[in-house]
Structure 1
Amino acid sequence: MTREIDYGNLMHRAMRGLIRSVLEDIAAHGLPGAHHFFITFDTGHPDAALADWLAERYPGEMTVVLQHWYDNLDVGEDGFAVTLNFGDSPEPLYIPYDAIKTFVDPSVEFGLRFESTTDDDEDDDEEPAEAINTDHARDSDEDGNKPEAEIVSLDSFRK
């Protein structure tokens, strides 16, 4: 019996921990400068909590924005709760970290993407993750356009 280091799941947990740390800081001190987040999550996750009308409108996934108005941000061990405004209707949400599909802060070109596996032979309970390259110090091309963010799949490092 050979034991191997499961880098994919270790990275998965570390990236979810990073999201938690960032949200804890925002809950304590507010959003600094131009920082804001686009968070896409699985609305069908068994631990996600959202209004019925939102679950019906977004049956698979939903992207929320934490930027100008949010309230009651409560960051926990397994997920976070927040109240957001949907068309002048404040609605509380609970988003488990395991339900998050993408976490992006476009102000600094940072993002994480978590993808599900469909392989039946995968022996992991957790899904592999991808990190969006955050090297925003890259030069622009001659027209002043920044290159697209590079997606690096952790699957390429797994056996």
Structure 2
Amino acid sequence: MNDTIAATDSELPYAAWAEEALRAVVVEALDHVGRRGLPGEHHFYVTFRTEFPGVSLPGHLKARYPQEMTIVLQHKFWDLKVDRGAGSFSVGLSFGGVPAMLVIPFKAVTAFADPHVRFGLRFQAPEPAPAVAELAEQAAGEAPAKPQVVSLDAFRRRRD
């Protein structure tokens, strides 16, 4: 009898479930540190997609990191808060001496690492939905629809 199991198409989304379970590890780690601080030599590298819906960061950072950014939570960060209901976390960091508050949805996170204990995770961030501006650009590039003439007589009240 063969002990190997052939990969089959599953109607159950095991990969998605496993990824969500691993994202929960990130949530727990950030929540723990937000409430109690970083113990010992632990520190986190968090990589996320800056264009993902719900990411909030100053314009100069968005311009410098238009697709992806890695932040380090080690010595100088403040107000680390996990919002489980919103599915995001916020943190204050200093960039070149300029303070900034970032809001990052957990689904935007593509990597998480704690180098002190050689722990790391990688995630597939879902493709963001097209922005309204992108949809408008697509619509503008298509051939304009023929104008239709609508008679207002159909909407007028009839007098008997």
User: When the two structures are superposed, what TM-score results if normalisation uses the length of structure 2?
Assistant: 0.69
Shift of 1:16: 1.1
Provide the identity percentage: 42
**1:53 and 2:60 are equivalent in the alignment:** yes
In structure 2, the residue corresponding to 1:48 is in which secondary structure? coil
For the aligned residues, what is the CA RMSD? 1.8
Does structure 1 retain, via aligned residues, the 8 Å contact 2:109–2:125?
Answer: no
Amino acid at match of 1:54: L
Shift of 1:12: 1.2
Length, aligned pairs only = 117
> Per-residue displacement from partner, 1:15-59 (whole Å, max 9, x unpaired)?
111111111110111000110001110000011000011000000
Higher CA-based Rg: 2
Question: 1:124-135 alignment to 2 at 5 Å?
Answer: none
Q: 1:11 aligns with which of 9, 18, 42?
A: 18
Distance 1:117 1:65, change over 3 A: closer
Question: 1:94-105 alignment to 2 at 5 Å?
Answer: 94-105=103-114
In structure 1, the residue corresponding to 2:91 is in which secondary structure? strand
Shift of 1:117: 7.5
The runs of 4+ residues in structure 1 deviating greater than 3 Å are none
**1:28 and 2:28 are equivalent in the alignment:** no
**1:91 and 2:100 are equivalent in the alignment:** yes
In structure 1, the residue corresponding to 2:104 is in which secondary structure? strand
Which position in structure 2 is the counterpart of 1:79?
88
Distance 1:117 1:100, change over 3 A: closer
Amino acid at match of 2:92: T
**How many angstroms apart in 2 are the aligned matches of 1:97 and 1:20?**
8
**How many angstroms apart in 2 are the aligned matches of 1:50 and 1:117?**
19
Shift of 1:116: 5.0
Q: Mark the runs of 5 or more structure 1 residues left unpaired by the alignment.
A: 119-159
Q: Mark the runs of 5 or more structure 2 residues left unpaired by the alignment.
A: 1-9, 128-160
In structure 2, the residue corresponding to 1:4 is in which secondary structure? coil
Distance 1:4 1:63, change over 3 A: same
The structure carrying a bigger helix percent of its residues is: 2
**How many angstroms apart in 1 are the aligned matches of 2:94 and 2:53?**
23
User: When the two structures are superposed, what TM-score results if normalisation uses the length of structure 1?
Assistant: 0.70
